[in-house]
Homo-oligomer: A and B are copies of this chain.
Amino acid sequence: MSHPLFLQHQATLDLALQALRERQYWSPHPEMPSPKSYGESAPADGLTAFEALLQQDFQLDGLPPSQGWVGSERSPYRGALRIRYPRHDADALLNASAAALQSWRQAGPHAWVGVCLEIIQRLNRRSFEIAHAVMHTTGQAFMMAFQAGGPHAQDRALEAVAYAWSEMSAIPAHCRWSKPQGKHEPLVLEKSWKITPRGIGLVIGCSTFPTWNGYPGLFASLATGNSIIVKPHPGAVLPLALTVRIAREVLAEAGFDPNTVLLAANQHGEPLARQLAERQEVKLIDFTGSSAHGEWLESHCRHAQVYAEKAGVNCIVLDSTDDFPGLCRNIALSLALYSGQMCTAPQNIFIPANGIRTPDGMLSYQQTAAGLCAALEALCAEPAKAVELLGAIQNPDVLHRLEAAQQLGQPMLDSRRLIHPAYPEAEVRTPLLRQLTLEDRTIYQQEHFGPIGFLIQAPDSAAALRQVEDTVRRHGALTLSVYSTDPQLQQLAQNVAEHAYVSLALNFTGTVMVNQSAAFSDFHGSGGNPAANASLSDSAFVANRFRVTQTRRFA
């Protein structure tokens, strides 16, 4: 019943399962873009492969009959990519996916998991090519595009597959059930259980982390026997198109219908995602994007399980610290990283009106704010270094929000445009900081996605935490960062985090940022507040993607 690809990757799977039990640091995917890990020629090969994709029609073998081509991606660094992808309407995609499902569903857990693990390994080998694709669609700087778009996304994929295997392998295939009947012969039934996929899974990608946010749902659904339609954001198709191509190659080589994984490319404004999501054949939907779109899916697509990551307002609360410079550096890094275009980036920074305690005595609110501003300015002082952290603005909406935010509250630190040494056209912006009060809820209780932070003066840190709990319960958040040396306040912060179902970071003064979350250890999203209705990944994320069909046979 096993499968060659399963056997080939079983050792990795076993390590992944162990990592999930211990949640210690682990990854089989080197995160440094180093020739030592990926081979001497890997960096150049990856760049060459990426360049060869530009201005071409993106080929996928074995697709349904052509319905034309579509593509309008723009690199935030170097302008239009001029890549066109095969176009198919919802009917063509769903018919091909349903046909592929018929054989895929019969293959069974070993084949599903083996194929997924092989795809992930091949994705890893292509990390440089994918890094360029991520960089030139999302605007991430190269290092981040490599890590978050490559190995870290592959980690999240493997994590989802490991959870899927864990859940599926807990169900035995058969047993001879024998129930004692006292002096009489026992009752005997031959029982068997078959893992049965839900049907067609739809993955709706986002424009900022197409692979990192897309892989968990894609691999959780594929590893549980479902066929997949990947609908990338029209602004970031290439990273997922490459993923789909690699998946299709592995499927075809293993003797399966490549249409088990399909690409649904569309133009900005074309309602392909909704057309697909509304169809009854679609049983699983994984979505990352706006709250409006996510809530529409949740309320209109009752025929499907919807796993949605939506907007949120991540908060920082300052109370006290024994490392003020470390605090400032860490927060500045968190705000600057990819210009705040992260679902985990902090937005609201609450500072007590009478300041924060440090080993050198109280720092006033103004001194605290000034420290944060100085750290941000230092971080962005050298454009050549800063752009490697800030990346570029992904789309004009972010620029519009940044401009609008300049009218909110009171000024604190202006956003500046930096000139990228290699890409002078790129829209590079340093983070904007505005000052608000606790009463400005209408401003800070919504997400201002981009390089926008608010310093919010609070009566004290406990009041700030109470406000955070209310905000997060109503409007969602993935992260809460608290700086305090006071065990009582730390406990209060933990209570708030539990009641608001938000991940808490305490006293992050090193180089780990609250924005970052590590597969096999950190749960990304709790699934308990409006920012996300699921966690990447946990048992609940995979256990309902399949059902079990039972056969009892009288023996």
A170 near B548: Cβ-Cβ < 8 Å: no
| Neighbour of A191 across the interface among B501, B511, B521, CB < 8 A | B521
Q: Is A156 an interface residue (CB 8 A)?
A: no
Q: Are A551 and B191 also in contact (CB < 8 A) when A23-B177, A196-B528 are?
A: no
Contact check: which of B25, B179, B543, B554 meets A538 at CB < 8 Å? Answer: B543
Q: A49 near B: Cβ within 8 Å?
A: no
Question: CB distance B539 to A170 under 8 Å?
Answer: yes
CB-CB under 8 A for A21 and B172, given A498-B194, A527-B544? yes
Q: Which residue of B lies closest to A105 (CB)?
A: B498
Check A504–B175 contact: CB distance below 8 A: no
Query: Is residue A99 contacting chain B, with contact meaning CB distance below 8 A?
Result: no
Q: What's the minimum C-beta distance from A507 to chain B, rounded to whole angstroms? A: 5
Given contacts A544-B540, A548-B526, contact A23 B191 (CB under 8 A): yes
A299 neighbours in B (Cβ, 8 Å): 302
How many identical subunits does the complex contain?
Answer: 2
Secondary structure of the A side of the interface?
mixed
A178 touches B25 (CB 8 A): yes
Q: Which of B175, B504, B550 contacts A549 (CB 8 A)?
A: B504
A175 close to B24 (CB less than 8 A)? yes
Q: Which residues on B sit within 8 Å (CB–CB) of A522?
A: 191, 550, 552
Q: Cα distance A31–B270 when bound, in Å?
A: 61
Residues of B within 8 A of A167 (CB): 539
Chain A, residues 154-179, CB within 8 Å of chain B (1/0): the string is 00000000000001001110010111
Q: Does A187 contact B (CB under 8 A)?
A: yes
The answer to whether B552 touches A503, judged by C-beta atoms less than 8 angstroms apart, is yes
Q: Is A320 an interface residue (CB 8 A)?
A: no
Assuming A178-B24, A498-B194, is B549 touching A526 (CB within 8 A)?
A: yes
Quick one: which of A22, A105, A498, A526 has the most chain B CB within 10 A? A498
Say yes or no for A183: interface residue by CB 8 A criterion.
Answer: no
Q: Does A400 contact B (CB under 8 A)?
A: no
- A554 and B506: CB pair below 8 A? yes
Contact residues in B for A467 (Cβ distance below 8 Å): none
- B-side contacts of A509, CB under 8 Å: 554
- The answer to whether A25 and B539 have CB atoms under 8 Å apart is no
4 tightest A-B CB contacts, nearest first:
A540-B543, A528-B547, A540-B544, A539-B543
Can you list 27 A-B contacts (CB < 8 A)?
A20-B170, A23-B175, A23-B193, A24-B177, A177-B518, A191-B522, A193-B523, A196-B498, A196-B501, A196-B526, A298-B302, A503-B550, A503-B551, A505-B551, A506-B551, A506-B553, A512-B552, A512-B554, A522-B550, A523-B548, A526-B547, A526-B550, A538-B543, A540-B540, A540-B543, A540-B544, A543-B543
